[in-house]
Amino acid sequence: MKTGGNGISIAAPAKVNLFLDILGKRADGYHDLRSLVVPISLADELVLENREEGIDVWCQGEGLPAGSHDVLPEPAHNLAARAALLLREATAFPGGVSIHIRKYIPVGGGLGGGSADAAATLVGLNRLWKTGLPVERLMELGARLGSDIPAMVYGRAVCMEGRGERVSPVACRWPAGTAWWLVIVNPGFSVATRDVYARFRTGLTSSEETFRNAAFALERGDVGLASFSLHNSLEATVFAKYPLLKIVADKLKAAGALGVLLSGSGASVFAMAAGLDQALAIEEKVRRDAGPWLWARVAQVLPDGVMVAHGPLEARV
Ligand code: ATP
């Protein structure tokens, strides 16, 4: 995050769910889940500028999958604008803000792009407006807009439970020099999360042991064990509706990935690689196979996050 006199620029990292278990349906219609969520180096870039009144948002696609520009949200529906409104109401701040978003995260891609923008807006504006809310309060505000937002406000590797409102840190003690590299592939269409949950039938929960292995792997930075413990309860439902995604997953496996998983509710699929060189080789292979139109990106898992006070992305904005 970089603060100038009248503005602030901030990176809004996407996330992947290394583990996503749906535990059951609640009386309020939502599902109870348990998920290990990590920020990644694929990020939108936001610039927040003070203005006397009003909340404006500009959202521009940068390197998004072909044909996806028309899925960018209308300004009034943009989660970043809604987050700004919510913070202003909660703090009675008298001013306004202009929000400029350069989107790199595919929309409706299961990578939490909209949630990332909302989380970055809450964190960034709290700093710019000097409204001084503690992070727990920002997470509460975020929970009103979307299930993934509290975890993304927290901005580090977390375990997310309930509807997403219960967020606990995963203490990552990775040996020096450890890095996890991913290849993310997006098919160029979006998947509506609500539709996936409506189709989902319980019965595909994972074992406690898989969860423990996944959490242990994340704590220790063990990419082999993490790849082996990948789980997403929604994957079968989404692959049944969109067989192309299963084909993409199989291609990533055949290209040498250690493990492959649907990201969140899709439509992106990610592969875990043994290192950067392997990630680049996998990316090249799937591109060669599918054609240059394919949206594929190599990204790094950022267990310590980037948005709040430190991290490798900070230098980019
Ligand atoms: P989710 O699982 O929360 O639906 P996702 O990663 O699958 O997340 P997003 O890219 O967050 O998908 O988009 C989901 C919806 O949110 C889309 O319908 C989109 O129009 C809307 N949306 C609102 N604001 C934004 C934003 N700033 N960036 C992207 N999408 C946004």
d(CA 273, CA 260): 9
* 14 Cα–ligand 1 center, Å: 11
Instruction: Give the DSSP H or E segment for 49.
Output: strand 31-51
CA distance 157 to 248: 26
CA–CA dist 141, 135 (Å, integer) = 10
Q: Ligand 1: which residues within 6 Å by Cβ?
A: 73, 77-80, 101, 107-115, 117, 146, 148, 193, 264-265
φ/ψ (deg, to 5) at 80? -65, -45
Query: Distances in Å between the alpha carbon of 219 and those of 18, 115, 151, 249, 260?
Result: 12, 24, 17, 26, 20
Cβ 11 vs Cβ 306: under 8 Å: yes
Q: pLDDT at position 286, please?
A: 94
* pLDDT one-digit tens code per residue, 264-301: 998 999 999 999 999 999 999 999 988 878 899 999 99
pLDDT at residue 8, as a whole number: 94
Cα 250 to Cα 240: distance, rounded to the nearest angstrom: 14
Q: Determine the Cα–Cα distance for residues 4 and 130; give it in Å rounded to an integer.
A: 13
Task: Give me the residue spans of the domains in the chain.
Answer: 2-169, 181-300
Distance 79 CA to ligand 1 centre (A): 8
Q: Which CATH architecture has domain 181-300?
A: 2-Layer Sandwich (3.30)
Strand blocks (E) in 131-289: 158-162, 166-169, 181-186, 231-232, 259-262, 269-273
Ligand 1 atom 30: residue of nearest CA: 114
Nearest C-alpha to atom 23 of ligand 1 is from which residue?
78
Q: Compute the distance from residue 116 Cα to the ligand 1 centre, in Å.
A: 9
304: CA distance to ligand 1 center in Å? 24
Look at residue 5 in the predicted model and tell me its pLDDT: 67
Model pLDDT for residues 183-212, shown as the tens digit of each residue: 999 998 888 888 888 888 776 566 889 999
Cβ-count burial of 279 within 10 angstroms (0-12 exposed, 13-18 middle, 19+ buried)? buried
Q: Does domain 2-169 have CATH number 3.30.230.10?
A: yes
Q: Whose CA is nearest to atom 9 of ligand 1?
A: 108
Residue 249 clears pLDDT 90, i.e. is over it = yes
- Ligand 1: which of 107, 121, 194 to mutate, judged by most atoms within 8 Å of the beta carbon? 107
Is a pLDDT exceeding 80 seen at residue 52?
A: yes
What is the C-alpha separation between 230 and 17, in angstroms, rounded? Answer: 9
Q: Is 258 within 8 Å of 272 (Cβ atoms)?
A: yes
CA distances from 58 to 44, 263, 285 (A): 13, 27, 36
